[in-house]
Amino acid sequence: MENSLPLNLYRVKKTNLIINRLHIFTHGFALLALIYYRTTFLFQTFKIGDKNTPFLPHVLVFFSELILSFIWLLSQAFQWNPISRKVFPERLPGNDKLPSIDVFICTTNPIKEPSVDVMNTVISAMAMEYPADKLHVYLSDDGGSSVTFQAVKEAWKFSKWWIPFCRKYEVKARCPAAYFLADESEEGNGNGKFSSIEFIAEKKKIEEKYEEFKRGISKVIENTSSYTSRDHDPVIQVINDANCGLDSDETEMPLLVYVAREKRPSHPHHFKAGALNVLLRVSGLVSNSPYILVLDCDMYCNDPTSARQAMCFFLDSQVSPKLGFVQFPQRFHNISESDIYDGRLRFVWPKWEGADGVRGPLLSGTGFYIKREALYGTSNIQEDVDLVQLQKSFGPSNEFIKSLQRIYKPNAFKDGEFSGVLLKEIKFLASCTCDNLTKWGKEVGFRYFSVVEDYFTGFHLHCDGWISVYLDPARPCFLGAGTTNLNEIFVQQTRWMVGLVEVAVSRFSPLIYGPQRMSILQSMCYAELAYDPFFFLPLYCLAIIPQLCLLHGISLYPEVSNPFFIVFSFLFLSSQLKHIQEVFSTGDSIQTWAIEQRLWMLRSFTSYMYGTLNAILERIGLREASFLPTNKAVNDEQSKLYRMGIYDFQASVLLLAPLCTLYILNLVAFIVGVAKIFHIQQANEMFIQVFIPLFGLIINYPLFEGMFLRKDDGRIAPSVALLSAALCIIILSFGSLVLVY
Ligand SMILES: O=c1ccn([C@@H]2O[C@H](COP(=O)(O)OP(=O)(O)O[C@H]3O[C@H](CO)[C@@H](O)[C@H](O)[C@H]3O)[C@@H](O)[C@H]2O)c(=O)[nH]1
Ligand SMILES: [Mn+2]
């Protein structure tokens, strides 16, 4: 009877689907009308040879509208068929029937990624509610830092207290830092255990142990250099009682392995994808679990049942054969109420629900369970394939190749020790030459081609015919550290955009490479992200050209009395209302709408542009690929402003100058424009051109405050404002010359 009950269900989000499709048709129709208006207008001007209508600004504005329409069209694939899913872990078979899981956690820099937080992630993963003998946690230390190596031992010592405590009291929040911060009532499980005297005493004891653990880490940091090196041998170590100076006891603990792969300055290391591939190979010989959970070091397990939830798909025989990965959303624990930097990435996750309706969400770097087989691409390898062929794909290690077989029983690790021969093999698998001349990073494992290894690897898995599912339970399974500072957003977004443009302008462009291998809708989803960075082109045009033309009295839009005025107004309102509807449908307020509009513009003017430029420089060999990790260390001053909802403009000039320049330009245009409307009575033909800067000025009001009103440290430095004013004058004079003639 029980077997017939489904492990998971999905439901089409009907209301959203209807609203979305209505929007697609009406908005799409209005866009066609706009294109008709522009082409006939340009055609006529050209035919008559009208000397009074300057051609270039019209063409540029039309070009911007076309790019915006194109990206809009691509993004509709995410809107087509939104679905949501539910799982029933209580229907899973018994523990003895559950498959084993390897957890991969990546860290790279103990200064930017504070060890206490990284170890909290490690501990939360070890404490997951899953049979301990089926859970293996691997920590990749890309910095090869002795701080991390020592800290992970402290983490082991503390987990010996923490894990039994969590099991005994069915603690929900298994990340200790989060547990001790949370209000106890949140932790109540209704069975009275939480009020017992015994519990209170034990909790106190554990809290002391946690403080001891933190002191231990501080000591490590004091006494050890946090130097990270790009030139060192591989270090692989199982962390256990013996090497942590503890007496062994009966506590059932998951396996914990520390891995610092070999690094040499002469060898490219391919950043996180390289690190994950080393973990894939090393774990292949050590535990070889069929399923893998990947976590960034800044993202801890918030719900200990995530593995069981994921198994509701992997153990469902209807979904499973083609299922490559189960993706959970990235949610964050450090976002303030007002979320002024849009660090939550709210707008991303509804897209994933939409992608789920067209064969699956995109891989998002962290918080996903993936099939080892999907990463190896071995599902279509024949049993009798010859060794040479396999070595070409997977490298020369015979032991590793043996591990590809389903029946392989890993034997590298026995009785708490690596066997000598195999340790040598494992070190080879973690060496920087191991994947030379193989298909690692190309057709096997996480792909190297782009710094958004998650996006690009997921794309290939989908191209290979795997599907994925998106699960967004009420209690977030994972919680991360979101970016809460302008500079960090700039660094992070620029990196993402570099990665996306690398793909967009390559032979892997989802629009060319995709449709032969996946559905059109799915290719459109990938393409939308890949081409998103190009938003910077239309946005720059629309923040400069209508304004310059306004100053020169050149009208670029239909006058208010023209029927096509309605088309333009409709397009503006329809896109804003759709955005507002989306914001409301995730339970957010109109303020979120304004912030998302603002940050979208801000990102487009900066990260999208720099990202695109950097990617192009990389393509032509003038720049080397890089992966600058975000800084997760908290700065008290900055976080104070952030909590108060005040922008902190202590940021790079590269970031601020374009924003301030455009702001001043729009301010000038708006003031002059209004004066013109009143004095020369141009309201009819200039209405839209006055409205555009007005909208920009209102949405980006914090820039005005930052430049002209604020006196605190977080304001925009006067030197930056001056520089921007100078740039604005250059644009005004130079632009006028070009545009008018
Ligand atoms: O050479 C490197 C660089 C980074 N990392 C790790 O990669 C993870 C992600 O780095 P982070 O600085 O936190 O970047 P984010 O922008 O927050 O990460 C997002 O974007 C990345 C792609 O750019 C994805 O890999 C991540 O999963 C996704 O969460 C962290 O655990 C790092 O320690 C490495 O292991 N090796
Ligand atoms: Mn991160």
Select the more confidently predicted residue: 722 or 183: 722
pLDDT band at 59 (very low <50, low <70, confident <90, very high): very high
CA of 649 to the centre of ligand 2 (A): 21
Give the least confident one: 175-184, 235-244, 339-348, 499-508: 175-184
Residue 254 lies in a domain: yes
113 in a labelled binding site: yes
Q: Which ligand is nearest to the CA of 481?
A: 2
Q: Is the pLDDT of residue 20 over 70?
A: yes
**Nearest ligand to the C-alpha of residue 107?**
1
Task: State in Å: Cα 391 to ligand 1 middle.
Answer: 30
Rounded to the nearest integer, the mean pLDDT of the chain is 94
What is the total residue count of the chain? 741
**Cα(237)–Cα(228) distance, integer angstroms:** 18
Q: Is 351 annotated as a binding residue?
A: no
- Give the bridge partners for 259, in sequence order: 140, 236
Percent of the chain scoring above 70 in pLDDT: 97
Q: Is residue 20 part of a domain?
A: no
Q: 298: which residues sit within 8 A by CB, 6+ positions away?
A: 113, 117, 118, 121, 480, 481, 630, 632
- The whole-number pLDDT of residue 188 equals 47
Q: What's the rounded Cα separation, in Å, for the pair 489 and 479?
A: 18
- Residue 549 has what pLDDT? 93
The helix or strand, by DSSP H or E, that contains position 634, with its residue range, turns out to be none
Ligand 1, atom 36: closest residue by C-alpha: 272
- Ligand nearest 629 Cα, by number? 1
Q: Which residue has the higher pLDDT, 37 or 407?
A: 37
Confidence of residue 583 (pLDDT cuts 50, 70, 90): very high
Tell me, in angstroms, the distance from the centre of ligand 2 to residue 280's CA.
Answer: 21
Per-residue model confidence (pLDDT) at position 380: 61
pLDDT digits (tens, 9 = 90+) for 509-523: 999 999 999 999 999
Q: Among residues 141, 454, 532, 648, which one is catalytic?
A: 454
Segment 124-131 shows an average pLDDT of 98
Question: What average pLDDT does the segment 207-226 reach?
Answer: 94
Looking at residue 1, its pLDDT comes to: 41
HEC assignment per residue over 656-675 = HHHHHHHHHHHHHHHHHHHH
Of 337, 335, 327, the C-alpha closest to 366 is 327
Output the CA 92–ligand 1 centroid distance in Å.
33
Does the annotation flag 214 for ligand binding?
Answer: no
Model pLDDT for residues 357-372, shown as the tens digit of each residue: 999 999 999 999 999 9
Residues having CB closer than 6 A to ligand 1 are 106-108, 113, 140, 142, 271-272, 275, 296-298, 365-366, 451-454, 492, 495-496, 499, 627, 629-630
pLDDT value at 479 more than 70 = yes
Please tell me whether residue 280 adopts helix, strand or coil conformation.
helix
Question: Residue 705 annotated as binding?
Answer: no
pLDDT at residue number 706:
97
The DSSP H or E segment spanning 272 is: helix 271-286
- Cα atoms in the 13 Å half-sphere on the side-chain side of 284: 30
Catalytic residue, chosen from 102, 117, 142, 339, is: 142
> Quick one: DSSP state of residue 104?
E
Nearest alpha carbon, ligand 1 atom 29: 365
Phi, psi at residue 324, to the nearest 5°?
A: -90, -45
Task: Report the Cα–Cα distance between both ends of the chain, in Å, rounded.
Answer: 80
Instruction: Give how far the C-alpha of residue 581 lies from the chain's centroid of Cα atoms, to the nearest Å.
Output: 23
Residue 496 has pLDDT above 50, yes or no: yes
Cα 332 to averaged position of ligand 2 atoms, centre (Å): 10
Does the predicted TM-score (pTM) go above 0.80?
Answer: yes
Do the domain assignments include residue 459? no
Higher pLDDT: 599 or 194? It is 599
CB 454 within 8 A of CB 363: yes
Query: Bridge-partner residues for 291, per DSSP?
Result: 101, 371
| Domain ranges, residue 117 | 100-289+378-439
- Most confident among 38-47, 409-418, 718-727 (mean pLDDT): 718-727
Is 272 annotated as ligand-binding?
yes
Element at 338 (helix H, strand E): none
Q: Does residue 605 sit within a domain?
A: no
Q: Flag whether 150 is in a domain.
A: yes
Asked if residue 149 is part of any domain, the answer here is yes
Q: What are phi and psi of 79, to 5 degrees?
A: -95, -15
Q: Give the ligand 1 atom nearest the CA of 630.
A: 12
With the most atoms of ligand 1 within 8 angstroms of its CB, the residue from 117, 272, 293, 334 to mutate is: 272
Whether 255 maps to a domain, the answer reads yes
Alpha carbon distance 355, 351 (integer Å): 6
CA-closest residue to ligand 1 atom 8: 296
How do residues 693-703 score in pLDDT, each as one tens digit? 999 999 999 99
Residue 364 CA: which ligand is closest?
A: 1
Q: Which of 108, 113, 325 to mutate to test the pocket of ligand 1 (most atoms within 8 A of CB)?
A: 108
Split into its structural domains, the chain has a count of: 1
CA proximity to 454, closest of 489, 503, 506, 494: 503
Q: Output Rg (C-alpha) for the chain, integer angstroms.
A: 28
Q: How far is the CA of 701 from the centre of ligand 1 (A)?
A: 32
Nearest CA to ligand 1 atom 24: 365
Average pLDDT over residues 660-685: 91
Name the residue of 296, 364, 484 to mutate for ligand 1: max ligand atoms within 8 A of Cβ.
296
108 occurs within a structural domain: yes
Number of helical H runs and strand E runs in the chain = 27, 15
The mean pLDDT value for 78-106 works out to: 98
Handedness of CA 639, 640, 644, 645 (dihedral sign): negative
Give the mean pLDDT of 7-30: 98
Ligand 1 atom 27: residue of nearest CA? 365
User: For residue 648, how far is its CA from the centre of ligand 1 (angstroms)?
Assistant: 24
Token digits for 627? 């992966």
Q: Stretch 195-205: mean pLDDT, rounded?
A: 90
Cα gap 322→302, rounded to integer Å: 28
- Catalytic annotation present for 454: yes
Task: Give residue 190's pLDDT band: very low, low, confident or very high (50, 70, 90).
Answer: very low
3-state secondary structure of 573: helix
Which residues neighbour 505 within 8 Å (Cβ) at sequence distance 6 or greater?
615, 616, 619
